[in-house]
Chain A
Amino acid sequence: MKESKSALLVGVGGQGAILTAKVLVNGLMKAGYDVKMSEVHGMSQRGGSVSTQVHWGEKVWSPVIGKGAADIVVAFEKMEAVRYADFLKPDGVAVINDYEMASSSIAAGLCEYPEGCLEAMQKNYRCFVMNAEKIAEELGNAKCMNIVLFGGMVKALHMDHIDWEAVIAETVPPKFKELNLRAYKAGYDAV
């Protein structure tokens, strides 16, 4: 792989984007890639918009990317997909959770949740949309939503050459291993 690849995982504080990035990074490291990852802590933990970036290849320099440089955006919340859409390469792909979370300004009635987020994304980018929350709930625990999305991401990026099930088993807490393996499969099959 000559060219490096970049993924941007975006969502709302507390949705599990960081654990998902950890699974991704562990798999890429096992496969022998040079990997860099960047996340922003601090204020964003208080219900704000969060983003985690992963950059990998034979040799990568910058841990972060700018606009127009992501091969994939995985949005844990659909408005966040819109917020970060301009980070995608023109031929980049978006995996979007069809899930809505009001921001504090929306909840306070100061503004409204924008209509047509999914449609706008689908019109302009190659998109894989799933209701990861519903899938996760059907599996018995809404919290595995992040790994459901991860399954979709693996398929969207054609990253099947890595044994992700083994990586997930090693990365998540043992008592959630089975649940997350099922979540991964369900997400993979959902797109």
Chain B
Amino acid sequence: MDKVLYSGNEAIARGAYEAGVKICSAYPGTPSTEIFENLPQYKDSLYCEWAPNEKVAVEVAYGASIAGARSLCAMKHVGLNVAADPMFTAAYNGVNGGMVIVTADDPSMHSSQNEQDNRHYARAAKLPMVEPSDSQECKDFMKEAYKISEMFDAPVLFRTTTRISHSKSLVDLGEREEPEIKPYTRNPQKYMCTPAIAYRNHPKVEKHMAELEEYGNTCCLNKMEIKGHKVGVITASIAYLYAKDVFPEDTSFLKLGLTNPLPMKLIKEFASQVEKLYVIEELDDFMEQQIKAAGIACIGKELTGKLYEYNPQLLKERLFGVKPQAPDLGVAAVSRPPALCPGCPHRGFFYTMSKHKNFIVTGDIGCYTLGGSAPLNAVDSVVCMGGGFTVGMGIAKTLEVTGQTGKKVFGVVGDSTFFHSGMTGAAEIIYNKGNVIPVVLDNSITGMTGHQDNPGSGKTLQGEIAEKLRIEKILSSMGYEYIQIVDPQDLKAMDEAVVNAAKSQVPAAIVVRRPCLLIKGIKHDIGKCVVDSDKCIGCKSCLRVGCPAILVENKKARIDQNQCVGCTVCAQVCPKGAISRKE
């Protein structure tokens, strides 16, 4: 078969398929999302789903493993924080069918809220960790990961970074193997994590890790390339490719694919063969620290640094002082930050909130994080998935306990985030009598990650029609008595809804509902807005809605007809009625 050009994520999906994986569960998150978007093509051979959150995904995959199937879950780095609970205990209980947890880290935070290095999870949870460098390895190492999982009775952490997940390189495909499904047998002594059983399991985990370290000294994932004895480089993951570009031809490499536990015997052997040893790894000194603790001298972070992603030229500069020369252009590009799309339903809500200076808005993770950007500036904080409701709760309680009045807290989450971890926050607010208005921005899709279905969208990952969970019914059953459902594109109604909710004497919540304009397959009301330049007085009120389609030229507003979709939010804020929709 010819080689195909696959992204790392496509190759991971293919690797899982070839490894005979049966059950797959994940929650979307950049840069991991495309792994699961590429699984439905194999649905004749495996089951795949979007779970409401990462913890659920790991639990489903782990249950499948207990039942004897090979299973997969995938998430972005911060998703593993959510899923850490079942993962740590699954490490103790061990597996039946092989299980792989993919964590896609995001050095440089292209699309993330922090730069955590998830390799530390492997050490903390005592899990085998596999790290590929390119798409071919993404595919091949998946198959090895399942073998390791079953050999060493543990889920395997499979770590990529953005540049591995989203870079494309050539891949040789293989055939699917069909491992035998081990029939389900009841085994509570293995799978019930009571203190007494966990007590017995811990030494078993330590023993497996010692055996795995021994295995790592000879396994195919770790390989020595001896080209000379002057300089040696120990490296793994994407840093291997950068280092290959940067170090001279006669440099020897120890390229590690199984990075927890580190194969110390192999490392010592390699170190003894070279005069000068470098450890090249992005983010933390994960390998370097352990190598130095083993008494091996090496050069690493003092030159390369712990911040942001590398590239070959950056490494060359930091290691060898070769600085790229660029002329001073004398002109600089201004920033081009992402913005809510023209016609985005979130715009009406955040514009409304920006008008009320006594409102505190605790936001969340999604497209609607952009409600905090200029000129809307309508978000006070963003922490994590689901935090919109509960961070707001902490602020509201503080205001209440310290007697500060005059402020009203609105906690904001999206529809997918509501199902992910917003529901527990909604329960918290009701149960503990919080003075917070939960607001769900329901655009009927998981938007920022590129349109994945969720429990409210009515469809599954495999394309089947599903039960559509109604957010207002869930809120109502929790005890919210005054629930308003409002179209954010109607600014008057939107404003009334927040004012009414703020005044409410009974627990109030708002569902802000309009589907994302980018959802395919449903009919959107598309038109164009135009400015009557005779009426326009150049007051720039329309610029305050933060729409990329509106510009000011010759002191008058102009609407870019290529971008405008006719949502009329700008028309509603124009004090002179200068903007109208063409039919």
| A residues neighboring B (CB under 8 Å) | 12-13, 25, 29, 34-49, 61-69, 79-80, 82-83, 85-86, 88, 90, 102-117, 120-121, 124, 142
Docked-complex contact A47 and B341, CB < 8 angstroms:
yes
Docked-complex contact B111 and A116, CB < 8 angstroms:
no
Which of chain B's residues have a CB closer than 8 A to the CB of A79? 333-334, 336
Docked-complex contact A110 and B336, CB < 8 angstroms:
no
Judge whether B565 is part of the interface by a CB distance below 8 angstroms. Answer: no
The distance in angstroms between the C-alpha atoms of A91 and B389, with both chains bound, is 54
Output the least CB separation between A9 and chain B (Å).
14
CB contact between A108 and one of B134, B333, B336, B375 (< 8 Å): that residue: B375
Docked-complex contact B241 and A61, CB < 8 angstroms:
yes
Max count, chain B CB within 10 A of own CB: residue among A29, A90, A107, A111: A107
Which of chain A's residues have a CB closer than 8 A to the CB of B548? 47, 102, 104, 107
- Closest B residue to A102 using CB positions: B551
Which of chain A's residues have a CB closer than 8 A to the CB of B168? 25, 35-38, 63
Max count, chain A CB within 10 A of own CB: residue among B34, B162, B169, B329: B329
1/0 contact string of B314-333 vs chain A (CB within 8 Å) = 10100000001111011111
The distance in angstroms between the C-alpha atoms of A69 and B324, with both chains bound, is 8
CB contact between A35 and one of B170, B316, B331, B450 (< 8 Å): that residue: B170
Output the least CB separation between B85 and chain A (Å).
26
Judge whether B217 is part of the interface by a CB distance below 8 angstroms. Answer: no
Output the least CB separation between B281 and chain A (Å).
15
The distance in angstroms between the C-alpha atoms of A105 and B313, with both chains bound, is 31
Docked-complex contact B367 and A46, CB < 8 angstroms:
yes
CB contact between B334 and one of A45, A88, A106 (< 8 Å): that residue: A106
The distance in angstroms between the C-alpha atoms of A63 and B547, with both chains bound, is 35
6 A-B pairs with the lowest CB-CB distances in the bound complex, closest first: A68-B324, A66-B313, A42-B111, A63-B167, A46-B338, A66-B311
Which of chain B's residues have a CB closer than 8 A to the CB of A142? 562
Docked-complex contact A46 and B340, CB < 8 angstroms:
yes
CB contact between A62 and one of B244, B326, B335 (< 8 Å): that residue: B244
- Closest B residue to A119 using CB positions: B331
Which of chain A's residues have a CB closer than 8 A to the CB of B374? 104-105, 108, 110
Docked-complex contact A42 and B546, CB < 8 angstroms:
no
Docked-complex contact B110 and A107, CB < 8 angstroms:
no
- Apart from A39-B166, A104-B373, A115-B331: 15 A-B pairs, beta carbons within 8 A: A36-B167, A47-B338, A48-B339, A62-B241, A64-B167, A66-B313, A67-B324, A67-B326, A82-B329, A88-B326, A105-B335, A107-B543, A114-B331, A120-B330, A124-B327
Output the least CB separation between A63 and chain B (Å).
4
- Closest A residue to B165 using CB positions: A41
Judge whether B299 is part of the interface by a CB distance below 8 angstroms. Answer: no
Docked-complex contact B111 and A43, CB < 8 angstroms:
yes
CB contact between A68 and one of B110, B244, B313, B540 (< 8 Å): that residue: B313
Q: Given A40-B110, A41-B31, A47-B339: A83 and B333 within 8 A (CB)?
A: yes
Output the least CB separation between A177 and chain B (Å).
21
Docked-complex contact B450 and A62, CB < 8 angstroms:
no
Q: Given A66-B311, A67-B324, A104-B373: A48 and B336 within 8 A (CB)?
A: yes
Q: Given A41-B111, A48-B338, A102-B551: A108 and B546 within 8 A (CB)?
A: yes
Docked-complex contact B370 and A46, CB < 8 angstroms:
yes
The distance in angstroms between the C-alpha atoms of A102 and B342, with both chains bound, is 14
Output the least CB separation between B44 and chain A (Å).
27
Q: Given A34-B170, A41-B111: A105 and B334 within 8 A (CB)?
A: yes
Docked-complex contact B313 and A65, CB < 8 angstroms:
yes
Which of chain A's residues have a CB closer than 8 A to the CB of B373? 104
The distance in angstroms between the C-alpha atoms of A61 and B340, with both chains bound, is 37
Docked-complex contact A38 and B167, CB < 8 angstroms:
yes
Judge whether B517 is part of the interface by a CB distance below 8 angstroms. Answer: no
The distance in angstroms between the C-alpha atoms of A38 and B170, with both chains bound, is 13
Which of chain B's residues have a CB closer than 8 A to the CB of A114? 331-334
The distance in angstroms between the C-alpha atoms of A46 and B546, with both chains bound, is 13
The distance in angstroms between the C-alpha atoms of A79 and B449, with both chains bound, is 27
Which of chain A's residues have a CB closer than 8 A to the CB of B562? 142
The distance in angstroms between the C-alpha atoms of A47 and B344, with both chains bound, is 12
Which of chain B's residues have a CB closer than 8 A to the CB of A107? 543, 547-548, 550-552
Docked-complex contact B331 and A120, CB < 8 angstroms:
yes
Output the least CB separation between B199 and chain A (Å).
44
The distance in angstroms between the C-alpha atoms of A12 and B408, with both chains bound, is 38
24 contacts between A and B (CB under 8 A): A12-B336, A25-B5, A34-B170, A35-B168, A37-B167, A43-B111, A43-B448, A46-B339, A46-B341, A47-B338, A47-B339, A48-B336, A48-B339, A66-B314, A66-B324, A67-B314, A85-B326, A86-B326, A103-B334, A103-B337, A108-B374, A112-B334, A120-B329, A121-B329
Which of chain B's residues have a CB closer than 8 A to the CB of A90? 325
Which of chain A's residues have a CB closer than 8 A to the CB of B134? 36, 63
The distance in angstroms between the C-alpha atoms of A102 and B553, with both chains bound, is 11
The distance in angstroms between the C-alpha atoms of A79 and B141, with both chains bound, is 42
Max count, chain A CB within 10 A of own CB: residue among B111, B162, B169, B367: B169
Which of chain B's residues have a CB closer than 8 A to the CB of A34? 170
Which of chain B's residues have a CB closer than 8 A to the CB of A82? 329, 331-333
The distance in angstroms between the C-alpha atoms of A64 and B370, with both chains bound, is 28
Which of chain B's residues have a CB closer than 8 A to the CB of A66? 311-314, 316, 324
- Closest B residue to A101 using CB positions: B336
Docked-complex contact B311 and A42, CB < 8 angstroms:
no
Docked-complex contact A65 and B311, CB < 8 angstroms:
yes
- Closest B residue to A104 using CB positions: B339
Docked-complex contact A41 and B166, CB < 8 angstroms:
yes
The distance in angstroms between the C-alpha atoms of A58 and B543, with both chains bound, is 51
Docked-complex contact A29 and B5, CB < 8 angstroms:
yes
Docked-complex contact A103 and B311, CB < 8 angstroms:
no
Docked-complex contact A44 and B338, CB < 8 angstroms:
yes
Docked-complex contact A48 and B334, CB < 8 angstroms:
no
Which of chain A's residues have a CB closer than 8 A to the CB of B540? 109
Docked-complex contact A40 and B329, CB < 8 angstroms:
no
CB contact between A42 and one of B31, B329, B339 (< 8 Å): that residue: B31
- B 282-316 contacts with A by CB, 8 A: 311-314, 316
Which of chain A's residues have a CB closer than 8 A to the CB of B370? 46
The distance in angstroms between the C-alpha atoms of A80 and B450, with both chains bound, is 24
The distance in angstroms between the C-alpha atoms of A47 and B459, with both chains bound, is 28
The distance in angstroms between the C-alpha atoms of A116 and B329, with both chains bound, is 10
Which of chain A's residues have a CB closer than 8 A to the CB of B314? 66-67
